[in-house]
């Protein structure tokens, strides 16, 4: 029985795009479902745009998502730039066997032919002018410094068909006569991506290539190159594109499109994995999957053939689900780096932070939002909303606030919600007030606004000293307006 081997081959030229990661995720799930091998290969032949920073960010993103690889970095043999000698060797083999040939056409000549084809409403394909020329006696790859100023073109079969039995799209038949003789080695001697990629795939014994359907047109060319090199090409699964809500290809104008952007925005890896898996694949009516369930149920037969539309609101809803279900100790550990990134010091231990988070975790949808909501717990220098202060911090409430602060200061117990409630009830009775008449001014004084968790639990979390200080500051503001 064949051992499934899939790969994900990002280029370290920027952040990992959501659409690209979705293809990598499906490759990962298929390998895991079939107890196979998942390979991470770094296609870094774009030397001008590739960077160490991008590579490190991408590796961190994949580890954060939990897409662990079985083969790949730090092993240097999985970097495409370290395989250039192998690519050149294979190109020479094709030359020697006359399955490829030197093309001496200049860029200007090719451009003129392209424009002529456009004027005549023909497809601008290469006319194979150099295909029948005699090969040079010193058969070698291009090298301008040595006087070998040409490109190498692959000699496509002139008749017959290339048949792709795609695992998602079904059978696609390409007429070889409609496929041109494309360049596989540039005039500077560097192999093109399509040639290097399929050679790496067959050398690494990849059995299934999973990628976006924008690569379908490359597939018959890559299949023919594999045949010419004496290999059986892998199976292919071409996934429909990920589109924005307006029907165009997902891009930055639709909002965040990279994994790192969602990581930094306080999303959970489980939410992003869950959402991307459902973007073009389904299992009945189930919406929420654990990673183990995704692996158990995944198969290409359940992949759709129409484009997936990225819905940021649905992803946010999923993240909200995972945040609510998070065990509090885990949530505390995960929120700490986001607090530190603000430069804030946590005014308590983990148990205190857990109590604070417990009052907010069913309100916040992301870790960043959770920190935003918790700002009044974490900082004493709170800014009061001007409208809220004007509405609730009026002269007639100064004395009840002062009395409440004094009674809270005298509490000798654990300062829990029950004790806070008893003090409130005492002050309400003394001044003949309803809860709302006192609770809202207190809320503004403690949190800066009019919306917060229950006032008793807020006070219990903030603590006696900090609560009394803020209430006395509110009284001073009322009595001595700036």
Q: Which residues contact 268 (CB under 8 A, 6 or more apart)?
A: 319, 322, 323, 326, 334, 367
**Before 74, cis peptide (omega within 30)?**
yes
Structure tokens at 255: 């909002």
| Catalytic pick among 144, 252, 387, 394 | 252
Report phi then psi at 23, rounded to 5.
Answer: -65, -45
Q: Is 136 exposed, middle or buried (0-12, 13-18, 19+ CB in 10 A)?
A: exposed
How far, rounded to the nearest angstrom, does the alpha carbon of residue 391 sit from its chain's CA centroid?
44
The torsion of the CA quartet 277, 283, 288, 293, rounded to 10 degrees, works out to: -80
β-sheet bridge partners, residue 249? 243
Q: Is 445 exposed, middle or buried (0-12, 13-18, 19+ CB in 10 A)?
A: buried
DSSP state of 178: G
Instruction: Give CA–CA dist 59/267, Å, rounded.
Output: 18
DSSP string, 108-149: HHHHHHHHHHHHTT-------TTTTSPPPSS----BGGGTB-
Alpha helices in 129-268 (DSSP H): 193-203, 219-228, 259-264
Structure tokens at 367: 């870790």
Q: What angle do CA 369, 374, 380 make, to 5 degrees?
A: 140
The torsion of the CA quartet 385, 386, 387, 392, rounded to 10 degrees, works out to: 80
DSSP string, 148-163: B--EEEE---SSSEEE
- Give catalytic status of residue 115 as yes or no: no
Residue 183's alpha-carbon distances to 93, 149, 180, 195, 431, in angstroms, are 15, 14, 9, 9, 88
Q: How many CB atoms lie within 10 A of CB 474?
A: 24
- Cβ atoms of 457 and 421 closer than 8 Å: no
Instruction: Give CA–CA dist 327/281, Å, rounded.
Output: 29
Q: Residue for token digits 């290097």? A: 196
Residues noted as catalytic: 252
């Amino acid at each position: 029985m064949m051992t499934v081997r899939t790969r994900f081959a990002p280029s370290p030229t920027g952040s990992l795009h959501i659409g690209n990661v979705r293809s990598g995720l499906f490759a990962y799930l298929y390998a895991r479902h079939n107890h196979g091998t998942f390979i991470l290969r770094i296609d870094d032949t774009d030397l001008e745009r590739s960077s160490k920073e991008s590579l490190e960010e991408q590796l961190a993103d994949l580890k954060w998502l939990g897409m662990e690889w079985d083969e790949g970095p730090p092993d240097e043999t999985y970097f495409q730039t370290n395989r250039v000698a192998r690519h050149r060797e294979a190109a020479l083999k094709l030359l020697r066997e006359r399955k490829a040939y030197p093309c001496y056409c200049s860029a200007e000549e090719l451009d003129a032919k392209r424009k002529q084809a456009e004027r005549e409403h023909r497809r601008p394909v290469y006319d194979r002018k150099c295909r029948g020329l005699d090969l040079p006696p010193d058969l070698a790859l291009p090298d301008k410094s040595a006087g070998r100023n040409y490109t190498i073109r692959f000699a496509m079969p002139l008749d017959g068909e290339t048949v792709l039995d795609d695992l998602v799209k079904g059978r696609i038949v390409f007429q070889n006569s409609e496929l041109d003789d494309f360049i596989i080695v540039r005039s500077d001697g560097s192999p093109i991506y399509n040639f290097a990629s399929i050679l790496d795939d067959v050398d690494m014994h990849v059995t299934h290539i999973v990628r976006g359907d924008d690569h379908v047109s490359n597939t018959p060319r890559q299949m023919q190159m594999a045949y010419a090199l004496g290999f059986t090409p892998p199976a292919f699964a071409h996934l429909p594109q990920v589109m924005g809500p307006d029907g165009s290809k997902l891009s930055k104008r639709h909002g965040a499109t990279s994994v790192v952007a969602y990581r930094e925005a306080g999303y959970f890896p489980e939410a992003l994995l869950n959402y991307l898996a459902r973007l073009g694949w389904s299992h009945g009516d189930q919406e929420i999957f654990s990673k183990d369930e995704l692996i158990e149920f995944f198969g290409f037969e359940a992949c759709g053939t129409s484009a997936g539309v990225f819905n940021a609101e649905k992803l946010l809803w999923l993240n909200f689900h995972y945040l609510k279900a998070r065990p509090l100790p885990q949530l505390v550990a995960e929120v700490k780096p986001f607090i530190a990134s603000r430069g804030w010091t946590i005014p308590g231990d983990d148990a205190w932070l857990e109590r604070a988070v417990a009052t907010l975790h069913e309100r916040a949808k992301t870790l960043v939002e959770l920190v935003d909501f918790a700002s009044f717990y974490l900082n004493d220098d709170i800014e009061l909303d001007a409208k809220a202060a004007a509405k609730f911090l009026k002269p007639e409430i100064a004395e009840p606030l002062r009395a409440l602060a004094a009674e809270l200061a005298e509490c000798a117990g654990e300062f829990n919600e029950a004790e806070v409630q008893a003090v409130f009830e005492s002050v309400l009775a003394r001044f003949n007030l309803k809860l709302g008449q006192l609770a809202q001014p207190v809320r503004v004084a403690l949190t800066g606004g009019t919306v917060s968790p229950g006032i008793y639990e807020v006070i219990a979390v903030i603590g006696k000293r900090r609560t009394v200080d803020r209430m006395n500051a509110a009284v001073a503001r009322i009595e001595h307006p700036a």
